[in-house]
């Protein structure tokens, strides 16, 4: 699991998106949602995540729920 302060914000956004079964999200949509949430919470300091960080977060969440 990621060990930085932005990880929890990203995990919450991803969980909310995955919980919404009425909308289909693609990787770019999820990255955009995470980036928007980070910008709202931390301003320009926390704005944006990379694709690698996004996919690492998905792996972290997958291992968390499959354990």
Its domain, for residue 15, covers: 5-66
Half-sphere exposure (CA, 13 Å, Cβ side) for 3?
0
Residue-wise pLDDT for 1-55, tens only, equals: 556 778 999 999 999 999 999 999 999 999 999 999 999 988 876 678 999 999 9
Structurally, the chain folds into a number of domains equal to: 1
Residue 61 has pLDDT above 60, yes or no: yes
- Gap between the Cα atoms of 64 and 52, Å rounded: 18
- Gap between the Cα atoms of 1 and 32, Å rounded: 21
């Amino acid at each position: 699991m990621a060990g930085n302060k932005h990880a929890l914000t990203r995990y919450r956004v991803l969980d909310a998106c995955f919980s919404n079964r009425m909308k289909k999200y693609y990787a770019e949509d999820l990255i955009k949602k995470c980036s928007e949430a980070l910008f709202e919470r931390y301003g320009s300091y926390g704005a944006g995540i990379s694709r690698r960080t996004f996919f690492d977060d998905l792996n972290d969440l997958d291992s968390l729920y499959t354990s």
